[in-house]
Amino acid sequence: MISVNGLTYHYPNTQQPALQQISLAVRHGETLGVLGANGSGKSTLCYALMGLVPHFYKGGYTGQVTVDRISVANSHLGEMAQHAGLVFQNPINQFSGAKLTVEDEIAFGMENLGFAPSVMRERIEWVSEMLRITQLLQRNPYQLSGGQMQRVAIASVLALRPQVLILDEPTSQLDPLGTSEVFEALRSLRREGMTTVIVEHKAELLAESCDRLCVLKDAEVQIVDSPNVVFGHPDVQQWGIEIPRYSQVFKAFVPTAADVPATLPDTVERLENYVADHD
């Protein structure tokens, strides 16, 4: 679904590459988590998948990015909006500011693209059910909780029916309840077969929700593999990422394991096996 080949990019007026020879592929229906230290290129990668790089941020761009076989560099941003949706950290700055209700806010993107009102209504119903915000449709988007606002932001880009959803640290600014609301929404989307790329620092949550993880360090890809393999990798300490505490525990007992559990249920199972083997 997403194919990145040799992508190298630097922002205008900078020499340092923000992305260096990035190559990766995301399968249809897959949820890919992206981790890395601050400044490693995670947000830039999100922008590149959607087309903000190179269309909004001009700069030195080589390599190829395709989403559903469409070349991002050769497509107008408005066109890309129907193939890739991007959700940012700060819910407030994502709203159009021109709409007084959640319903109208969700419609905003569709209005820009000239959809018929009947289609808009259908899509609004679909996304609000999926993201459990039907009861919020007539509310003012600026008067919602953080978690609700982010779900409205997701709904607004989802209404354009992109094939891919990209989320750049969507729960950074949220409290624990908001965070779990967003991850629950992502689980629903995963069940529907949505291809998702999510950048986050929260290793435990990523391990639970992602099929594979991609680690970025200094603008380069270090690894793309399942969470268990990523967190069990011998070099993981050098990547500057958070390691799930569950994995840390397991590694204390089995330091040479090539793949370690990263979620609670997995860890419980592996620890019980460990005890059984050593009794």
Partner 1 sequence: MLPITIDGVSFSYTPEAPVLTDVSLQFKAGATAVIGQNGAGKTTLMKLLNGLLKPVTGSVRIGAIDTREHPTSAIARHVGLVFQNPDDQIFKHRVKDEVEFGPLNIGKSAAQAQELALTALERVGLRAKVDENPYDLSYAERKQICVASILAMDTRVVVFDEPTISQDAVGVRRMGEIVRGLADEGKTVISIVHDMNFVAEYFDWVVVMANGRVLQTGSPEAVFQNKMTLALAHVEAPAMGKLSTAMGMSNFSLTVESFVAEFAAEFVTELQDFQNKLRGDRGEMKL
Partner 2 sequence: MKTLSLYRPRDTFIHNGLDPFTKLIYLICSMISAFFIPTFSGALGLLVINLVLLAWAKEMKRALKTLTGSLLLLVTIFVIQGLFHPGNHTLLFALGPVHVYREGVVFALTISFRVVNIIAASSVLILTTSPAAIMEACVRRGLSPKIGYVITAILQMIPVMMDSASTIREAQQSRGMSLEGGLWHRMRAFLPLLGPIVLSSFLSIQDRAMALEVRGFSVPGKRSFLHDETVLRGSLGLRIVFIATTLCILVWGILA
CA distance 133 to 185: 10
- Which of 85, 147, 227, 261 is close enough to bind partner 2 by CB under 8 A? 85
Paired sense of beta strands 60-67 and 212-217, if any: unpaired
Binding partner of residue 261 among partner 1, partner 2, none, CB cut-off 5 to 8 Å per kind: none
Please tell me whether residue 131 binds partner 2 under the rule CB under 8 A. Answer: no
b or e along 27-52 (b: 16 or more beta carbons within 10 Å of the residue's beta carbon)? eeebbbbbbbbeebbbbbbbbbbbbb
CB within 8 Å of 164: residues ≥ 6 apart: 1, 2, 26, 49, 67, 68, 83, 84, 85, 194, 195, 196, 197
Binding partner of residue 275 among partner 2, partner 1, none, CB cut-off 5 to 8 Å per kind: partner 1
Cα-Cα-Cα-Cα dihedral sign, residues 179, 181, 186, 187: positive
For residue 95, the minimal CB distance to partner 2 (Å) is 7
**Residues for the chain: how many in total?**
279
For residue 245, the minimal CB distance to partner 1 (Å) is 4
Please tell me whether residue 252 binds partner 1 under the rule CB under 8 A. Answer: yes
- Which residues contact partner 1 (rule: CB under 8 A)? 36-39, 89, 145-146, 169, 172-180, 201, 204, 237, 240-246, 248-249, 251-253, 255, 264-265, 267-268, 271-272, 275, 278-279
The footprint of partner 2 (CB under 8 A) covers 47, 50, 52, 55-56, 76-79, 81-82, 85-86, 88, 90, 93-98, 100, 103-104, 107-117, 120-121, 142, 156-157, 160
